[in-house]
Every structure is written in structure tokens, then in C-alpha cells.
Amino acid sequence: MSLPTPLPTLPLGHSGMALSRTGLGTWAMGGQGPRMSWGPQNDEESIRTVLHAVGNGINWLDTAPVYGLGHAEEVVGRALRRLPASERPYVFTKCGLRWDENAQVTRRGTADSLRHEAEQSLRRLGVEQIDLYQMHWPAQDGTAVEEYWETLLELRDAGLVRAVGLSNHGVAELARAAAVETPASVQPALSALVRDAAAEVIPWCRERGVGVVVHSPMHQGLLSGAFDARRLRTLAPDDWRRRSAAFSQASLAAAGAVVSAFASLGRELGVPTAAVAVAWTLSVPGVTGAIVGARTPGQLSEWLPAARLRCLEPAAMAQVASAIREAGAGSGPLVPALEESVGR
């Protein structure tokens, strides 16, 4: 089944789902909490943002239990209840990160743990089936990749989830899972500042017809065109970005050159800087879609045009590559002018 949307779509691997090129990420909707918080967030504002996204053609949402320790999933569930069934977007969530009474998070992969997580996510989201269920990170409790991957496949076969994928896994781990069954999708980080996935993971997926939904295309807001040293100082005390090396003064300076290139292209295309930053990731061959976060409808409107841009022209990609090279920004291949772009 493909949900109707006026936006361009691409198939997500062999899942049977066709996705708008951008999907709404809900990490910040977890609100304040003891782990990886983005600071205070109003739930009604989050719900309005979800409804605004769906109303503008975004046909998938990405969330996870660890976002707000269950809270983001609950907020998504509340938003879904305000939509008629025919308008509900695909809902993607994850598993493998469990927390205790002290909010200490560990990476687990045992069958019992993953089944429990799936049941809790279904309850919080208020859905009968999760559209895409992903292992958030490789397990660190001794559970082999093959073992937890088989558990996800069992959850799919039982009808609790529609399709299964792997998030933040390297090629060696993906190959081990694929020896059991090829994933429907993979979710790596990708932005103009973190390009490592373009070297191995995305080409591996492309060769095998695996869908790719990338996360952090604006590098947690650093490439949005609205972030600078002053903005960093105004973040909430519990916003995790205050403690991140990615937001050091040196990182801000290097990112500034890339943002300038995006802003210049945005002026040429008549779209906001944030939309160009997201479109850059969509221009990498093999990328199905990008997960982009928003806390308000206004923030969403800044990057929503990327869903229609689909891809940047080779000359534009070369312009960004030049800015990256001159600034020495980030890691991974430059992904310069590409002769073949997905979705074009």
C-alpha cells in the first residue's frame, strides 16, 4: 500500500512502501529528560507539527522509545488519533535501547527484550502494526547480529511489524544480517559534515536494492542556516548539544563555510538554506529519504521544500564539495558532482 501524497516518492527497498523524500523526525518531541534531551518541548506544539507535516504531504514519521524515554512515541500516538485512518502516515520506530529506573540506557538484543519493546511501542503509539521496525544500534549485551535480526524477522512474520531494518550498523554487520535475510532498509547518519555512509554503507545498500533513510541531514540544526555561537549559548541547559564536540567553536566555524554555500544555492533556487542542506543528502545516489526533525510548524516549513527539490544538480553538488574542501569540514567522501542521481 502506498499512502497518497502530492510529493515525489521512492520505494523503500522491498518493503512495499513508497516514501515522500523527507520524513518527520521526532527526537526533540521527547522533551526534557535525563538522557539526550533537546530541552523543554510543548506537546501540543509537537502534535501541531505532526499534523502540519502530514497535511503537507509528508507520509512517514520516525521515532524511537528512547526519545524522552517513551514520551515521543506517546506524543506521536496522540497525533495519530487526531487523523482519520485514511490520512495516517507510516510510522517507523526502533528497538534495542532499554533504560532502567535510573534512566541508564543499555543496548540489548535478546529476543525477550525486543519482543517486550515492540509490545510497549505498539501500546504507546496506539497502532496495531508498526510500519518499519529498526534495531537502533548494534547490541552490546553479547547478542549476535544474526540473533537479534532473526527476532525482528519473527516480529514481522507475526504481523506486529510490517517491515524491518537496521539503524547505525556498519557494512560488516549488515552483511551478517543479509546472510539471514536482506533488510528492507538501513538508517545511517548523513549530512554534508558527516559523509562516511556515502563511502560504504549506502553503496552496499544500493547494490542490493535496500532502502536508505538517512538521519541528521542538518547535523542536529548546525546546517539549518539558523545556528551560530550565539544560538548555542541560548540553548536550554539540558540540551545535549551544549556538551557535544560537534558544536565546538572550531566545528561552528567549519560548518559556517558549508552553510554559506547552501545559503547561496538557496537564493538561486528560491528556498531556505535548510531545504538545500536536506536536498544535498537526497542527491546522494541510493538515498531513499531523509529524516528531518522539527519542533514547530515553522521549523518544518524551512526544510519542507527539499521534498520537492528531490536532488541538487551536479554543478550545485560540486559547489558544496568545493566549500567542504576549502573549510576542511567534516569526514567522509566529498560526494561531488554526481552523474547519476536517484529519483531523477
User: In this structure, are residues 59 and 326 in contact, taking their beta carbons and an 8 Å threshold?
Assistant: no
Q: What is the pLDDT of residue 12?
A: 98
pLDDT digits (tens, 9 = 90+) for 44-94: 999 999 999 999 999 999 999 999 999 999 999 999 999 999 999 999 999
258: in domain: no
Which pLDDT does position 341 carry in this prediction? 41
pLDDT for the residue 231: 66
d(CA 288, CA 298): 25
Rounded distance, CA 75 to CA 47, Å?
7
The model's pTM: 0.91
Average pLDDT of the segment spanning 288-292? 98
Using the Cα atoms of residue 196, residue 61, residue 116 and residue 111 in order, give the sign of their dihedral: negative
Residue 340 confidence (pLDDT): 43
Give the SS3 label for residue 252: helix
Condensed to tens digits (0 to 9), the pLDDT of residues 17-50 reads 999 999 999 999 987 665 566 667 899 999 999 9
pLDDT single digits (tens) 304-328: 999 998 789 989 999 999 999 888 8
Cβ(109)–Cβ(147) below 8 Å = yes
Please give the C-alpha separations between residue 78 and each of 22, 47, 138, 169, 188, in angstroms, as whole numbers. Answer: 22, 7, 30, 31, 28
319/13 Cα distance (integer angstroms): 30
Q: State the average pLDDT over residues 170-175.
A: 98
In a domain, 123, yes or no: yes
Most confident range, picked from 20-34, 96-110, 139-153, 309-323: 139-153
Q: Position of cell 517513551?
A: 70
Residue 288 near residue 132 (C-beta atoms within 8 A):
no
| 99, part of any domain | yes
User: How confident is residue 330, by pLDDT bands cut at 50, 70 and 90?
Assistant: confident
Residue 332 domain flag = no
Beta carbons within 8 Å of 234's beta carbon, 6+ residues apart: none
Kindly state whether residue 121 falls inside one of the protein's structural domains.
yes
Residue 276 lies in a domain: no
**193 in a domain, yes or no?**
yes
Count of structural domains, the chain: 1
Q: Which residue intervals of 179-282 are DSSP H helices?
A: 201-208, 229-234, 249-269, 273-282
Per-residue pLDDT band at 329 (split at 50, 70, 90): confident
Nearest Cα neighbor of 166 from 151, 32, 142, 84 is 151
CATH label of the domain that carries residue 191: 3.20.20.100
Does residue 10 lie within any of the structural domains? no
- How far apart are the C-alpha atoms of 13 and 260, rounded to whole Å? 34
Across all residues in the chain, what is the average pLDDT?
A: 90
pLDDT at position 337: 43
121-134: per-residue pLDDT in tens? 999 999 999 999 99
Compute the distance between CA of residue 114 and CA of residue 235 in angstroms, rounded to an integer. Answer: 34
Of residues 10 and 233, more confidently modeled: 10
Of 142-151, 162-171, 212-221, where does mean pLDDT reach its minimum? Answer: 212-221
* More reliable by pLDDT, 235 or 199: 199
Looking at residue 130, its pLDDT comes to: 98
Parent domain of 65: 17-225+286-304
Identify the pLDDT of residue 230. Answer: 66
The per-residue pLDDT for 336 is: 61
**Residue 312: all three cell numbers together:** 541538487
Average pLDDT over residues 162-182: 98
For the record, the C-alpha cell of 34 comes out as 535525563
